[in-house]
A and B are shown apart, each in its own frame.
Chain A
Amino acid sequence: MMLSKLSTRLRYVGRKLLLSSGEFSAGPKSHARGTHFKYFPCEKPIVAVVLGETQKLNMYQAINHGLNIALENNPRSVVFGEDVAFGGVFRCTMDLKNRYGANRVFNTPLCEQGIAGFGIGLANAGILAIAEIQFADYIFPAFDQLVNEAAKMRYRSGNMFDCGKLTIRAPCGAVGHGGLYHSQSPEAYFAHTPGLKIVVPRGAMHAKGLLLSCIDEPDPCIIFEPKTLYRIAVEEVPVAHYKIEIGKAEIVRSGDAVTLVGWGTQVHVLLEVADLVQEKLGVSCEVIDLVSILPWDAELVCKSAKKTGRVIVAHEAPMTNGFGAEIAATIQTECFLHLEAPVQRVTGWDCPFPHIFEPFYLPDKWRCFAAVRDSLKY
């Protein structure tokens, strides 16, 4: 009893630390380092053009706006999870309880498997269920519910039942000081599960559009939100309801020498790499934001691979069995005769995510740059 209470408290301390150091302009005395990337606001607000009015928002505000729209549009929708009622540890659910009532925006006990199972039950009964897992690092107790239950509900019942109204949100990825248990990117574990859909936004505009897509999607979805972007990612976000298609990747920058594929925070690293390559090697890179992990846009990636003949895939998660392996294998099958160099993966090392060694662990711009150079020299 005592022990469990203590560990609960410790876990909260960890969460608080992350919260309070949400500002990333680390002072000279701070042990937290700055970000390993430069944020590139969305240059091609594809949807914004049509949708008119926009508002300057960071990513947690954009998500908050998305949730607000979902709750407003559908009276049979709920938002729940640990500490969600007061606004969430990352502030994504701020003010929602006041607007929609404690019946529709509420805290659950501290129990991820419960949150996932409870959400599946809601969705089975036709309620739009938007669950927050406080950190993707803590999603594993919910693994069984998501992989064996949510993903297989439609299939095993011969389409009699489904929990397509379930959306799981989970903050993921490196944040500069998250250590082993506030930094992981577990998308590949879930990408091995037919029946789930998985997306990762790279900024505010994508977060809102993808969230609203997940909510409308008739299949259970997980949206992994790179937590380091919650405050940094500021851009003009359409005020109205809009969606970004699940399963479609996006060419963020066109180029012809090397294709760089990433998602989430890594897209920004790759954009900086593209600048570096242009400056130092004088060639252009094509940067692709995969956006959607499952299903993923093999067509767009392979088209680019055939054009450039060289591909680098980069992700924060460890290399072995990371989603990069899937992409590399597909490119090998589809584009074999077009390739000028082997597809390379630049990823987190096959180690747990290390606290103070984060700068050495991440697939940062210099490791990616080196891979591009090697690919060009091959």
Chain B
Amino acid sequence: MYCDMVTINVMDKIMYGLHRQGRISFYMTNTGEEAVQIGSAAALTLEDTIYAQYREAGVLLHRGQPLAKFMNQCYGNCEDDGKGRQMPVHYGSKELNFMTISSPLTTQLPQAVGAAYAFKLDKKNACVACYFGEGATSEGDAHAAFNFAATLSCPVVFLCRNNGYAISTPVLEQLKGDGIAAKGPAYGINTIRVDGNDVLAMYYATKSAREFCIKQKKPVLIEAMTYRIGHHSTSDDSTVYRSVNEISQWDAHSPLVRFRLYLESLGLWCQKKEQELIDSTKKEIFRAFGEAECKSKPHWKNLFTDVYKEIPDHIRKQMNQMEKHLEEFKEHYPLSSFTHTK
């Protein structure tokens, strides 16, 4: 668990730097929320389906996503499972049962409930885990999902990362009342509020939520209290709306620091091991992104595929039109890097 927390932290720093160098178009860090992600992920199985928002890379990492796949997606290269169609950090994995991220906020919530209902119908010994931020709960889809999950008794664990900010909007301007957890009972949903910066608390809360929800065929809501130490995304400078002092205070007590001190107190970890881990992780990430960067882009025709299972006539016609156009004007398009066929 600790290794994954460090890996995601190191990866974020490197990817953030790559964006600053103009080598990837966008990035979102997970800094400060490593415990929510890794702690909960450790309590789930690969049978459980994950519906995530966009700040859950750690969950995917813990489920076994190789670094190369993260890099391939961020570069949108020919090895990207998403075929280069989405902005960076919109990961997904069929084999790891992790639904592909979409940018619209909260849309994954009612979908997670539907998937959970399917699990119930299929009598699966698994649940759906659905991640979202506290800002997402202001969307109508959150209400829809909570209400559907409760009335239709769906085995879904709602995992709210209350990290204090929705981009720049602090939680106090997002909602009144006692946070997200207070909403649970109103919907008839069993609810836990947990210290999301304590990875072990997060693990046990998720583990018991999972057990309850599979056994009872009912939803559980977890509000994990955490703090987004990083900016919202690479398009954001959070010091405009919060003090550097506030950030550094949280940073000093980050989930990584807390877990490391705990491990050290048990004699399970030391500075030497820490440095070795960071060094080897960095090396691995540099290698992965170096490889990802060298790979060519997917063939441009992937622009037209997968809209439907089969390409309908009108789209095929448009694809042929584009092909003709490219023949004539090829020098004006970056064709050479977009002709790779997998």
User: Which A residues contact B (CB, under 8 angstroms)?
Assistant: 76, 78, 103-104, 106, 108-109, 111, 113-114, 116-127, 129, 141, 144-145, 148-149, 152-162, 164, 194-195, 197, 218-219, 247, 295, 298-299
CB distance from A121 to the nearest CB of B (A): 2
User: Which residue in A103, A117, A295 is a CB contact (below 8 Å) of B114?
Assistant: A117
Complex contact A103–B121 (CB within 8 A): yes
Instruction: Pick from B80, B140, B310 the residue with the most CB of A within 10 Å.
Output: B140
Q: Give Cα A117–Cα B104 distance, bound, in whole angstroms.
A: 13
Across the two chains, which residue of chain A brings its CB closest to B302?
A158
Name the contact of A158 in the complex, choosing from B81, B115, B121, B307 (C-beta under 8 A). Answer: B81
Binds A, one of B29-37, B38-46, B86-94, B286-294: B86-94
B111: nearest chain-A partner, CB-CB: A121
Q: Does B10 contact A (CB under 8 A)?
A: no
Near A by CB (< 8 A), chain B positions 91-124 give 92-94, 99-100, 102, 104, 107, 109-119, 121-122
Q: How far, in whole Å, are A197 and B255 apart by their CA atoms in the complex?
A: 47
Tell me the smallest distance from the CB of A284 to a CB of chain B, in Å: 29
Do B109 and A117 have beta carbons less than 8 Å apart? yes
Tell whether, in the assembled complex, residue A113 and residue B110 are in contact, meaning their CB atoms are under 8 Å apart: yes
Tell me if A160 and B114 are in contact (CB < 8 A).
Answer: no
Most buried by B among A114, A159, A219, A298: A114
Does the CB pair A155–B111 fall under 8 Å? no
A125 touches B110 (CB 8 A): no
A303 CB, nearest partner CB in chain B, Å: 14
Name the CB-closest residue of B to A193.
B307
Q: Which residues of B contact A114 (CB under 8 A)?
A: 110, 113, 141, 144-145, 147-148
B136 CB, min distance to chain A CBs, angstroms: 13
Within 8 A of A (CB), among B26-75: 49, 51
Question: Complex Cα distance A125/B50, Å?
Answer: 12
Contact: B99 with A124, CB < 8 Å? yes
> Whole-angstrom distance from the CB of A327 to the nearest CB of chain B?
12
Check B20 for interface membership: any CB of A closer than 8 A: no
* B116 cross-chain contacts in A, Cβ below 8 A: 121
Task: Give min CB distance, B141 to chain A, whole Å.
Answer: 6
A residues near B170, Cβ cutoff 8 Å: none
19 further A-B pairs in the complex, CB-CB below 8 A; given A78-B117, A298-B314: A109-B144, A114-B141, A116-B110, A117-B144, A120-B111, A121-B113, A121-B114, A122-B117, A122-B118, A129-B114, A144-B141, A145-B107, A149-B107, A152-B102, A156-B86, A157-B81, A157-B100, A158-B80, A295-B314
13 contacts between A and B (CB under 8 A): A78-B121, A104-B121, A114-B141, A118-B113, A121-B114, A121-B115, A121-B128, A124-B111, A156-B100, A157-B82, A157-B99, A158-B92, A161-B94
Shortest Cβ gap from B68 to chain A (Å)? 16
> Chain B, 118-134, contact with A by CB distance < 8 Å: what is the 0/1 string?
11011000001000000
Bound-state CA distance A141–B310 (Å) is: 29
* Chain B residues whose CB sits within 8 angstroms of the CB of A154 once the complex forms: 306-309
- Summed over the interface, the residue pairs from A and B with CB atoms below 8 Å come to a total of 160
- In the complex, chain B residues 297-317 whose Cβ is within 8 Å of any chain A Cβ: 305-310, 312-315
How many whole Å from A133's CB to the nearest CB in chain B?
14
> Which B-chain residue is minimally distant from A107 (CB atoms)?
B151
Residues on B with beta carbons closer than 8 Å to the beta carbon of A121: 51, 110-118, 128
- Which listed residue, B102, B115, B309, touches A218 by the CB 8 Å rule? B309
Answer whether residue B161 sits at the interface, using C-beta atoms and an 8 A cutoff: no
Contact between B144 and A113, CB atoms less than 8 A apart: yes
Residues of A within 8 A of B82 (CB): 156-158, 160
Cα distance, A116 to B83, chains bound together (Å): 26
Q: Which chain A positions have C-beta within 8 A of B100?
A: 153, 156-158, 160-161
**Complex alpha-carbon distance, A298 and B94, angstroms:** 36
Given the complex, which residues of A lie within 8 Å of B86, measured CB to CB? 156
Chain B nearest CB from A104 CB (Å) reads 8
CB distance from A317 to the nearest CB of B (A): 21
Q: Which of B83, B118, B148, B310 contacts A127 (CB 8 A)?
A: B118
Known contacts: A114-B145, A155-B85, A158-B306. The answer to whether A295 contacts B121 by CB under 8 A is no
Q: Is B14 an interface residue (CB 8 A)?
A: no
A121 to B50, CA, bound (A): 11
Return A50 CB to nearest CB of chain B, in Å: 24
B50 to chain A, nearest CB (A): 12
Least distance between A61 CB and chain B CB atoms (Å): 27
A117 touching B118 by the CB < 8 A rule?
no
Query: Chain B's nearest CB lies how many Å from the CB of A135?
Result: 18
Q: How far is the CA of A117 from the CA of B109 in the complex (A)?
A: 8
Min C-beta distance of B127 to chain A, whole Å:
12
Given contacts A106-B152, A113-B144, contact A160 B92 (CB under 8 A): yes
- A213–B181 CA distance with the chains assembled, in angstroms: 44
For the complex of A and B, 6 pairs with smallest distance between CB atoms: A121-B114, A117-B110, A114-B144, A125-B118, A157-B100, A121-B111
User: Chain B residues near A162 (CB, 8 Å)?
Assistant: 309
Question: Which residues of chain A are within 8 angstroms of B83 by Cβ–Cβ distance?
Answer: 158-159
Q: Identify the closest chain B residue to A162 (Cβ).
A: B309
Pick the most buried of A123, A129, A149, A160: most chain B CB atoms within 10 A of its CB: A160
User: What separation, in Å, do the CA atoms of A144 and B111 have in the docked complex?
Assistant: 12
Q: In the complex, are the beta carbons of A113 and B140 less than 8 A apart?
A: yes
Q: Cα distance A117–B107 when bound, in Å?
A: 7
Give Cα A218–Cα B312 distance, bound, in whole angstroms: 13
Task: Write the chain A residue with the least CB distance to B313.
Answer: A295
B158 CB to closest chain A CB, in angstroms? 13
Q: Indicate if the CB atoms of A195 and B118 lie closer than 8 Å.
A: no
CA distance A197 to B315 in the complex (A): 13
| Interface residue from B102, B109, B111, B308 paired with A156 (Cβ < 8 Å) | B102
Cβ contacts under 8 Å, A145 to chain B: 107, 110-111, 141
Render B233-253 as a binary contact track against A, CB cut-off 8 A, 1 for contact. Answer: 000000000000000000000
Q: Do the beta carbons of A194 and B307 come within 8 Å of each other? A: yes
The residue among B83, B119, B121 with the most chain A CB atoms within 10 A of its own CB is: B121
Residues on A with C-beta less than 8 A from B107 are 117, 144-145, 148-149
Residues of A within 8 A of B313 (CB): 247, 295, 298-299
The answer on a CB contact under 8 Å between A125 and B115 is yes
Q: Is there contact, CB below 8 Å, between A195 and B121? A: no
Q: What residue in chain B is nearest A104 (Cβ atoms)?
A: B121
